[in-house]
Amino acid sequence: MKINRTDYQRFIVKPNNQQTHMLITHFDELSFNLVEGQQLAVTVEEDRREILENPGSFDYESYLLSENVTAQRIATHVTYTGERFYTPLFTLRGSVLEKVIAELSETSSSLVSALVLGDRSFLDEDFTSLFTRWHLTHLLAISGLHVGLFILWLSFMFKRLFYFTKELTLRLLLVVFLLVPFIAGGSPSVFRASLVGLLGYFALSIKWKIETMDALSLVFLFLVIVWPHWIYQLGFQYSFLVTYSLLLSKPIFARCNKSWQLLLFVTSISFFITLPLQLSRFYYINPVSLLVNPPISLFFSLIIIPLAFLSFFISLFIPSVLWLVDPLLTWLFSTIYYFLDSVDRMFYWPLVTGKPDTFHMLCYFIVLFIVLKWIDLKRNKKACMFGLLLFFVIGMMKLAPYLSPFGSVTQLSIGQANVLVIETPHRQGVFIYDIGATVGNDFIEPTDKAYLRIIKPYLHYRGITQVDGVFLSHAHQDHFGSLKYLIKDFKVMNVYTSPYFDDALLPDKLSNTVLNSGFRYNIKGSNFDVLLPVKSHSDENDQSMVIRVLLGPLTFLLTGDISKEIEKDYLDTYRLHSIDVLMVPHHGSATSTHQAFLEAIQPTYAFISVGQNNSFGHPHDDVLTRLEKKQVTIYRTDTHGAITYRYHKSNGWYRIDVVNQQTIK
């Protein structure tokens, strides 16, 4: 049972007589503390929520697969019925965690909880985001490195301080290897290190010589057989990929005469071997981190980690002397944070490549293998030559969109808001029609939740760092609320509004161009016909800027939140042309998309941006009925997720894709 503590309680259980797990959400307070290994009687309700994603966002379905979860339920009643034989170990871990939090200061306790007990939930979000940007998050979680350092430290103490015999030392370390995975939260890297240590112990006991590579391979096979879903976990992938790479590079390490050379080479190998995983999951790299990582990793390994373990044991057994180490640990970690924060403000130059395709990944690994082979053969000139080729491959990942003759239009699934991203062929232009946000608890001010979880990851997924134009339909937060966040992370060349948009709502120092209705604007090679509004309206929705644009073989009509009265204005003002794709006005509200409007424009496809189970009843049944009667193919974000139209620049080819995901029943 894995527990996640938030405003509600969410935990994973394994039902009797089943091999897969179930994710339980419980909203009421329990009369007992949840501990892994407990046996529970759970009364549940059916929960058929779809897992809908946007490209580039957190892959929730893969996360559930990594936890072997195939079902979700909402619990109405949870009762404790018993426990497993190993439950006391997790109960002990919970008690130890409470003791650490009570005895240590906030900074020290959060650090010790993460580095020793494997619980990162107490770390400050600013810490974790900063370390993530510099590819240092592995330092904030207990790993095989920490286990190895801990074992070396214990071995030294047992032999040099307590003068234990070799046999007694090995037996004590055996107990440590058995307990560490439970105490440390059971991360894949900890299991890997502990099982390799156990295998080495038994090999010594029976005088069986086993190579480290063989031991690692046996552990890998064991973990994959026992917990096959772990193969989806990023930590599992990182752990074994780095460890295998370092073991295969041992002949090269042997030639490093100085410790700084060894540290730099180990860091470089770890960086380059995991770079494809980094790009596949986060879509960017921080090249400067290659210089920053070695000294910070060394400082953590030699000072922070030993001090964290020392603070851990002192807090448990002799808390009266914590005043000696607690302030020191807090000061050292704060110093690292402020140093890294200063470097971040001056030298954070991320290289956003987007998600690399299989071809570039294959080329990268082939070239990296050749580089390491030439280094192994001491052919340094050829290694440098192929090293340059390695950077060329990374550059090609970045340049791929500029060489592609394909364009795309993506309607993001952003709840009860609107974001449409347009990319023209050869990356000639990147445009966004509406950049909405969800509002906070006050139902007025926008939050950055949708931007951070959906918009920014999607743009990085596509390798986008510059937006050539943002078209704001009207001044409602669900259509422009994320603009202030966008301009902080991306280069926004221009913002386009209608004459009736209140410019005071725009962020300061932002270039703004007013587009008048009845005119065609050529922007970055694309023609945007601005059709509405022709006059001011009392209802802000009716002031939406309506745009018609030809993208590949299909014509789009982007409508904002106009009502049927404005649709009638459109019919009265312009010579009627059929369009191919209609962005259904006002999220499918009953006040829009009337019959005469549909008969006039004759759309083939309809995109509806709407939130799941929204309180407005969007899209309205009458709207859906009218669309269906006109035989319009309907795509809606609440059931299909993000909708993407792809097209070729010249040959007429196009395709509409949705985010197809398995329903968790």
pLDDT tens digit string along 176-196? 888 888 777 777 778 887 888
Look at residue 605 and give its three-state secondary structure: strand
At 264, the pLDDT band (50, 70, 90 cuts) reads confident
Say which residue, 20 or 261, is predicted with more confidence.
20
Nearest 5°: the CA angle 264, 267, 273 is 135
Q: What pLDDT, in 10s, does the model give residues 486-541?
A: 999 999 999 999 999 999 899 887 879 999 999 999 999 999 999 999 999 999 99
Mean pLDDT of 407-436: 97
Q: Using an 8 Å Cβ cutoff, are 424 and 525 in contact? A: yes
Q: How far apart are the C-alpha atoms of 139 and 299, rounded to whole Å?
A: 10
Asked whether the predicted pLDDT for residue 417 surpasses 80, the reply is yes
Answer positive or negative: Cα dihedral of 216, 219, 223, 224: positive
Please state, for a pLDDT cut of 70, what percent of the chain lies above it: 96
Burial class (CB in 10 A: 0-12, 13-18, 19+), 125: exposed
At 16, the pLDDT band (50, 70, 90 cuts) reads confident
What does the pLDDT read at residue 301?
82
At 5, the pLDDT band (50, 70, 90 cuts) reads very low
Phi, psi of 25 (to 5 degrees): -115, 125
What does the pLDDT read at residue 53?
79
What does the pLDDT read at residue 662?
43
Give the range with max mean pLDDT: 2-6, 67-71, 130-134, 661-665. 130-134
What does the pLDDT read at residue 660?
60
Point out the least confidently predicted range of 74-88, 606-620, 650-664.
650-664
Point out the least confidently predicted range of 65-74, 129-138, 185-194.
185-194
What does the pLDDT read at residue 501?
95
Point out the least confidently predicted range of 102-106, 205-209, 381-385, 647-651.
205-209
Mean pLDDT of 579-600: 95
What does the pLDDT read at residue 448?
92
Look at residue 113 and give its three-state secondary structure: helix
At 663, the pLDDT band (50, 70, 90 cuts) reads very low
* Token pair listed for 23: 């994710």
Asked whether the predicted pLDDT for residue 37 surpasses 90, the reply is no
The pTM (predicted TM-score) of the whole model is 0.88
What does the pLDDT read at residue 204?
74
* Token pair listed for 154: 């214990």
How large is the C-alpha radius of gyration of the chain?
A: 29
Q: How far apart are the C-alpha atoms of 637 and 610, rounded to whole Å?
A: 6
Asked whether the predicted pLDDT for residue 259 surpasses 80, the reply is no
Point out the least confidently predicted range of 241-245, 583-587, 645-649, 654-658.
241-245
Closest CA to 486 of 456, 462, 512: 456
Mean pLDDT of 1-28: 77
What does the pLDDT read at residue 7?
64
Mean pLDDT of 652-659: 94
- Mean pLDDT of all residues belonging to the chain: 88
Q: How far apart are the C-alpha atoms of 595 and 71, rounded to whole Å?
A: 42
What does the pLDDT read at residue 465?
96
Residue 518, by phi and psi: left (phi above 0), alpha (psi -120 to 50) or beta? left
Neighbours of 371 (CB within 10 A): 20
Q: Quick one: how far is CA 70 from the chain centroid?
A: 21
Say which residue, 653 or 120, is predicted with more confidence.
653
Look at residue 608 and give its three-state secondary structure: strand
Phi, psi of 584 (to 5 degrees): -60, 125
Chain position carrying tokens 């319009």 = 632
Q: Quick one: how far is CA 453 from the chain centroid?
A: 8
Q: What pLDDT, in 10s, does the model give residues 193-232?
A: 788 888 877 777 777 888 888 888 998 999 899 888 888 8
Neighbours of 165 (CB within 10 A): 10
What does the pLDDT read at residue 49?
58
At 48, the pLDDT band (50, 70, 90 cuts) reads low
Q: What pLDDT, in 10s, does the model give residues 354-401?
A: 999 999 999 999 999 999 889 888 888 888 888 899 999 999 999 999
Q: How far apart are the C-alpha atoms of 392 and 376, rounded to whole Å?
A: 22
What does the pLDDT read at residue 665?
32
The beta-strand segments (E) located in 266-319 are 284-285
Say which residue, 62 or 587, is predicted with more confidence.
587
Cα atoms in the 13 Å half-sphere on the side-chain side of 221: 6
What does the pLDDT read at residue 419?
98
**Tell me, what DSSP letter sits at residue 439?**
B
Asked whether the predicted pLDDT for residue 51 surpasses 70, the reply is no
Chain position carrying tokens 């890997």 = 192
